[in-house]
């Protein structure tokens, strides 16, 4: 299946069920297709609630989750892992739904004077996905990889990883601590925790920004504890909970110095 086939089947179904299908169903379904495409047509993929609602302009959680459940009930999406609330990510899979006879909409269109042309050439859609050589690419130092080398489906994770890496380096330099380990960190070590936070843990971009702001602020304790994205993933819940409230830096200075001193 590809994007065109999913689209065709959906509109066949929609045409035959005008009393059930609403614009919100179409919006959510096509955003799921778009996300699946960007992730390289994975069989199962994370579908963060806040991301989908923000992208589609849906303000009410009940409206969103009700429409998503309809798509499951109608056989277009299947649950792999259902989120417990609006702040965690669903894991879903697209399903080939064959309930709607494909000729129904064709006949209706022809009755409106639309001629259906038979193409003699196939249409190949270029996917927004570029295969990666896992043996070499993932092990390259993140700082030595140019943005143009990154596949589109990895670009968002890469940008967050670089942003945090630069912040960690700044914090280390401000303390006069060694930076070599962070400078030589490879792509996989820094990008994969970001991917897992977004896809598996359901951490939103606004929550990542909140964590970034705290690590870029006056709280010296966290600057000495979180020096890579793996540790960031472990502690991101605490950072989100703390927000931008100042920590008790004076009480924690000794632990900060010991942490940084033993880092490299």
Domain match, 66 and 156 both? no
Domain match, 146 and 233 both? yes
pLDDT at 123: 47
pLDDT at 217: 87
Domain containing residue 29: 3-111
Number of domains in the chain: 2
Q: Are the CB atoms for 88 and 49 separated by under 8 Å? A: yes
pLDDT at 111: 54
Exposure on the CB side of residue 178, measured as CA atoms within 13 A: 8
pLDDT at 31: 94
| Per-residue tokens: 51 | 């991301």
pLDDT at 119: 45
Assign residue 26 the CATH number of its domain.
1.10.10
pLDDT at 112: 52
Domain match, 149 and 243 both? yes
Domain match, 172 and 241 both? yes
Tens-digit pLDDT profile for the chain (264 aa)?
677 888 888 888 888 888 899 999 999 999 999 999 888 888 899 999 988 999 999 999 999 999 999 999 999 999 998 877 666 678 999 987 655 555 555 555 555 544 444 444 444 555 454 555 556 777 888 888 888 888 888 889 999 999 999 999 999 998 889 999 999 988 888 999 999 999 888 899 899 999 999 899 887 888 888 999 999 999 988 888 887 454 443 344 444 444 444 443
Domain match, 89 and 145 both? no
Domain match, 95 and 187 both? no
pLDDT at 106: 55
Beta-carbon contacts of residue 144 (< 8 Å; ≥ 6 apart): none
pLDDT at 256: 43
Domain match, 170 and 73 both? no
Q: Are the CB atoms for 169 and 216 separated by under 8 Å? A: no
Domain match, 52 and 153 both? no
Q: Edge to edge, what strands does the sheet with 45-48 contain?
A: 45-48, 89-94, 77-81
| Structural domain contains residue 219 | yes
């Amino acid at each position: 299946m590809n994007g065109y086939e999913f689209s065709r089947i959906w509109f066949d179904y929609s045409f035959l069920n005008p009393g059930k299908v609403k614009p919100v169903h179409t919006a959510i379904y096509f955003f799921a297709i778009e996300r699946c495409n960007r992730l390289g047509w994975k069989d199962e993929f994370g579908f963060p609630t806040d991301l989908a609602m923000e992208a589609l302009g849906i303000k009410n959680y009940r409206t969103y989750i009700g429409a998503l459940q309809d798509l499951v009930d109608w056989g277009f999406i299947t649950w792999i892992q259902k989120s417990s609330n609006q702040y965690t990510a669903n894991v879903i899979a697209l399903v080939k739904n064959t309930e709607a006879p494909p000729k129904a909409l064709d006949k209706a269109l022809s009755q409106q004077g639309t001629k259906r042309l038979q193409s003699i050439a196939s249409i190949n859609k270029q996917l927004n996905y570029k295969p990666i050589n896992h043996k070499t690419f993932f092990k390259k130092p993140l700082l030595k990889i140019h943005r143009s080398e990154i596949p589109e489906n990895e670009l968002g994770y890469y940008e967050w990883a670089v942003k945090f890496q630069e912040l960690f380096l700044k914090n280390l330099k401000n303390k006069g601590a060694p930076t070599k380990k962070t400078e030589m960190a490879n792509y996989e070590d820094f990008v994969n925790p970001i991917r897992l936070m977004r896809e598996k843990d359901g951490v939103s971009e606004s929550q990542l920004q909140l964590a970034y702001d705290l690590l870029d602020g006056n709280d010296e304790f966290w600057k000495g504890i979180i020096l890579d994205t793996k540790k960031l993933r472990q502690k991101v819940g605490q950072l989100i909970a703390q927000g931008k409230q100042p920590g008790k830096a004076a009480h924690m200075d000794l632990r900060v110095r010991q942490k940084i001193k033993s880092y490299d």
